[in-house]
Amino acid sequence: MAPSAWRPTSLDRLLIGTPHYPEHVDDSYLERDAARMAECGFNVIRLAEFAWHLMEPREGAFDFSLFDRAIEVFARHGISTVMCTPTATPPRWLTMAYPEVLRVDTHGRPARHGSRQQADTTSPVYREHSRRITQAMANHYRDHPHVIGWQTDNELNTTASESYAPGTAREFRRYLSARYQTIAALNHAWGTDFWAQRYDSFEQVDLPFELAPSFANPTQVLDYHRFLAWATAAFQHDQVAILRATNPGWFIFHNLGQLRDIDFRGEFTTDLDFLGYDVYPFLKDEIERTGCHAHHQAFMADVMRGYAGNFIVPEQQSGLGSQPGFATPVPEEGEMQRMAMSSIARGADGVLFFRWRPAHFGAEIYWNGILDHDDVPRRRYEEARRTGTTLQRIGSRILGTSVRMDVGIAGADYDNQEAHTTYPLGLPSPQGASLPLHRHCFEQGLPCGFLHPEDDLSRLKVFFVPHWVIWKDEWTERLERFARAGGTVIIGARTGTRDANNHVIRDTAPGRSLSALCGITVEEFGLLPPLDGLGLTDKLNRPEGALVLPTRPAESSRRAHQLRVGDAVLPAAHAYELLKVRDDAADQVTVAGRWDTRFVAGQPAITIRRVGEGRVVYVGTYVTDALAALLLDAVLADLPIKPLLPHVPAGVEVTLREGEGRSLLFILNSRAEPVVVPDVPAGLELMGDRPHAAGALRLSAYGCAVIQVSP
């Protein structure tokens, strides 16, 4: 059974610390590093994730002496160790002797030694080597009192997840044979009568190469990514099984990076005690241009909690972040603490600042840490010390609590995220489509998060399904029970329009069960041009590369639509659906919004159906920032939800963690100037260890407060 979004960790302490790399310095650094970390209130370090070459310098010959020395030095200062399996970076003797373990790209070029994640985790040969080093490490540290847990690998699939090696193709065929049993079943699932793709045996099946020479079969692509997720989980399971059998008392987690080809409802997560997520908000903002790294950090923390409940942060940015291809800003005074407290506010039960000191060599020499290259403690060290000692003091009050959610967003479904990528139509992904509603909740101080429809929905007031094309009828039953008990369900456009094989359904959208629940059918669907674009298609993909289109508008650029909701008129984005109220639900459904332009004018766009004590809202378009505010503040103004504070100033993040007899109100300032937050309830302000009288609270630039309030 998949873990719940409400699950706390089983940790006996709030983890505070840093990754350390004794292989990058000589032993003379260890004692002063440990002493300084103890001054910072740190209670844990992470070791060895990139050190396979030192622990197994030759096949079958092991040497753990460097890490033995480091563990003992840090233990004398009260600091425990999390060890890592080092399988993200195989040693050179391995890739020389067993070249078949290397990933191969779509052009047939094998990966090269000298980087990381060059090994193909689908390879049985590589899995055997992974098991050997894991078993050797587990045996060596079996009874070590200061090794308290393990991290599997490092950011699986972040640098690369795909491989097109002959060995990968063989494993893919084995996976398909086990999944479908017969080639006839595969042909049906893949719809191979399109473009004469039918197969006579599993041996004829190849990997789905992009543009080979035209577009690949979408279901073949989906199954390839299902296979990669299965193989990733199997690779990790090898390690977890060894560690659990060796010492059941160890906790085990993985530190997630890019979240590629990992199925969080499957074995990957059920194997682990909790998840870890590496937090680099500035990097995300540089890559995705989010415009607000504070919100994006909160968004991703909520996404992470939706996978498996409370988590830890094994790496949090503490300085300039850089590899040769990119760079990020340096956190300003107070931002290290604010980022740490934001993660904790949204479910983290541990934070490790990355890294203790920067490397003097390699591809991350300018990925700075708490200390600088010259080993001199400066402002980032002082901020780590203030944050660490504070968290050490208040950590016991935080552990055992979970994050309040009144508004839930459907998440943690691998098939839906991947099915979207196989045929996106230029539309936002399910996760991307949830950003506007989440952003509105963040800005208003509404308790919000993500969870799967199979999770416990009873604690929610609102549940939003952001355009899930693949749908199961049993999920409809769960949504109906939630609505009948008083909940509000919001269903986004295009939900339920494909089946488990990634085929478009033959019933009228949104499918039988959702149509009955919502009381509507979708009579027409179409795409809308970007509001500032030149047409629906910006470029065409061709085998020789992308074909850039002329910089003049297409006819489609003029075919925009507007939406009228009450007296408000707002532009629609991405897609439109024309809705029809079912005859058998005419007395239960009201039209809350209509199209207001061109040939669709006057036709239903948003409907509300009363279901028991609650209601089901169907939105025949994609939710924008303006529409999210309109839905929650006007259309559904009688919702039994309210902000955690009456007035939330711009740039202030407000979250509540609750446990038995405890309610912790986190109030964080993401702005570079002080802010006054009005109408804050009375309680004990934990970070300053002082009482707060009901009323205004002043926060410094990037300032943080945690107030224990009456439950």
Full domain range(s) for residue 619:
407-635
Task: Note whether 117 and 47 are same-domain residues.
Answer: yes
How far is it, in rounded angstroms, from Cα 174 to Cα 699? Answer: 58
Known active-site residue 613: no
How far is it, in rounded angstroms, from Cα 140 to Cα 64? Answer: 8
Q: 206 in a domain, yes or no? A: no
Q: Is residue 255 within 8 Å of residue 83, measured between CB atoms? A: no
- Evaluated on CA atoms 269, 274, 279, 281, the torsion sign reads positive
Q: Is residue 321 within 8 Å of residue 282, measured between CB atoms? A: yes
Name the 3-class secondary structure at 117: coil
> For residue 638, with 0-12 CB atoms within 10 Å meaning exposed, 13-18 middle and 19 or more buried, which class applies?
exposed
Q: Is residue 302 within 8 Å of residue 449, measured between CB atoms? A: yes
Task: Note whether 394 and 480 are same-domain residues.
Answer: no
Structure pTM? 0.96
Cis peptide before 404 (omega within 30 of 0): no
How far is it, in rounded angstroms, from Cα 303 to Cα 325? Answer: 27
How far is it, in rounded angstroms, from Cα 46 to Cα 35? Answer: 16
How far is it, in rounded angstroms, from Cα 106 to Cα 114? Answer: 20
Known active-site residue 315: yes
Task: Note whether 29 and 157 are same-domain residues.
Answer: yes
Q: 646 in a domain, yes or no? A: no
Task: Note whether 500 and 380 are same-domain residues.
Answer: no
The two three-digit tokens of residue 106, written as one number: 């779509």
Q: 328 in a domain, yes or no? A: yes
Token match 């479904």: residue? Answer: 413
Task: Note whether 578 and 701 are same-domain residues.
Answer: no
How far is it, in rounded angstroms, from Cα 210 to Cα 33? Answer: 49
Task: Note whether 677 and 566 are same-domain residues.
Answer: no
How far is it, in rounded angstroms, from Cα 82 to Cα 46? Answer: 5
What confidence score (pLDDT) does residue 557 get?
Answer: 84
Q: 254 in a domain, yes or no? A: yes
Those residues with Cβ within 8 angstroms of residue 541's Cβ, 6 or more apart along the chain or in another chain: 211, 547
**How many CA within 13 A on the CB side of residue 95?**
21
How far is it, in rounded angstroms, from Cα 373 to Cα 376? Answer: 8
Task: Count the Cβ atoms, other than its own, within 10 Å of residue 478.
Answer: 18
**How does DSSP classify residue 443?**
H
Say which CATH number the domain at 87 has.
3.20.20.80
End-to-end CA distance of the chain: 31
Helix 218-246 and helix 183-190: axis angle, to 10°?
Answer: 120
How far is it, in rounded angstroms, from Cα 136 to Cα 64? Answer: 10
Those residues with Cβ within 8 angstroms of residue 352's Cβ, 6 or more apart along the chain or in another chain: 15, 16, 17, 18, 19, 44, 46, 312, 313, 314, 315, 316
Measure Cα distances from 580 to 424, 506, 519 in Å.
Answer: 25, 18, 9
Q: Dump strand ranges (E) for 78-131.
A: 80-84
Name the 3-class secondary structure at 270: helix
> For residue 326, with 0-12 CB atoms within 10 Å meaning exposed, 13-18 middle and 19 or more buried, which class applies?
exposed
Say which CATH number the domain at 619 has.
3.40.50.880
Token match 């059974």: residue? Answer: 1
Token match 């639900």: residue? Answer: 585
Task: Count the Cβ atoms, other than its own, within 10 Å of residue 504.
Answer: 11
Strands 348-354 and 562-565: unpaired
Task: Note whether 478 and 496 are same-domain residues.
Answer: yes
What confidence score (pLDDT) does residue 18 get?
Answer: 99
What confidence score (pLDDT) does residue 541 get?
Answer: 54
Q: Is residue 382 within 8 Å of residue 422, measured between CB atoms? A: no
Name the 3-class secondary structure at 422: helix
Strands 348-354 and 15-19: parallel
Name the 3-class secondary structure at 150: strand
Q: How many H helices and E strands in the chain?
A: 19, 31
What confidence score (pLDDT) does residue 293 get?
Answer: 87
| b/e code 65-98 from CB counts within 10 Å (16+ = b) | ebbeebbebbbebebbbbbbbbbbbbbeebbeeb
Q: Is residue 476 within 8 Å of residue 514, measured between CB atoms? A: yes
Looking at 345, 380, 398, which one is the last position of a domain?
Answer: 398
Task: Note whether 93 and 145 are same-domain residues.
Answer: yes
How far is it, in rounded angstroms, from Cα 664 to Cα 155? Answer: 31
Looking at 398, 427, 458, which one is the last position of a domain?
Answer: 398
Task: Note whether 154 and 277 are same-domain residues.
Answer: yes
Task: Count the Cβ atoms, other than its own, within 10 Å of residue 379.
Answer: 12
The catalytic residue among 49, 56, 171, 315 is: 315
The two three-digit tokens of residue 687, written as one number: 């970070």
How far is it, in rounded angstroms, from Cα 666 to Cα 13? Answer: 19
The whole-number mean pLDDT for each consecutive block of 10 residues of the chain, a chain of 711 residues, reads: 91 99 97 99 99 99 99 99 99 98 94 95 98 99 98 96 97 99 99 98 94 87 98 98 99 94 93 97 80 91 97 97 89 98 99 97 95 97 99 98 98 96 94 97 98 97 97 98 98 98 98 99 95 73 61 86 95 97 98 96 98 98 96 89 97 97 97 98 98 98 98 89
- Measured at the alpha carbon of residue 418, what is the angle toward residues 311 and 461, in degrees to the nearest 5? 55
Cis peptide before 324 (omega within 30 of 0): no
Pick from 91, 87, 101: which is nearest to 49 by CA? 87
Q: 2 in a domain, yes or no? A: no
Looking at 374, 398, 422, which one is the last position of a domain?
Answer: 398
Task: Note whether 327 and 439 are same-domain residues.
Answer: no
Task: Count the Cβ atoms, other than its own, within 10 Å of residue 273.
Answer: 19
Task: Count the Cβ atoms, other than its own, within 10 Å of residue 599.
Answer: 11
Q: 248 in a domain, yes or no? A: yes
Pick from 436, 433, 437, 430: which is nearest to 453 by CA? 430
User: What is the Rg, in whole angstroms, of the alpha carbon atoms belonging to the chain?
Assistant: 26
Counted domains in the chain: 3
Task: Note whether 379 and 518 are same-domain residues.
Answer: no
Task: Note whether 505 and 623 are same-domain residues.
Answer: yes
- Measured at the alpha carbon of residue 173, what is the angle toward residues 167 and 176, in degrees to the nearest 5? 145
The catalytic residue among 49, 155, 653, 685 is: 155
Say which CATH number the domain at 689 has.
2.60.40.1180
What confidence score (pLDDT) does residue 539 get?
Answer: 55
Q: 470 in a domain, yes or no? A: yes
Q: 214 in a domain, yes or no? A: no
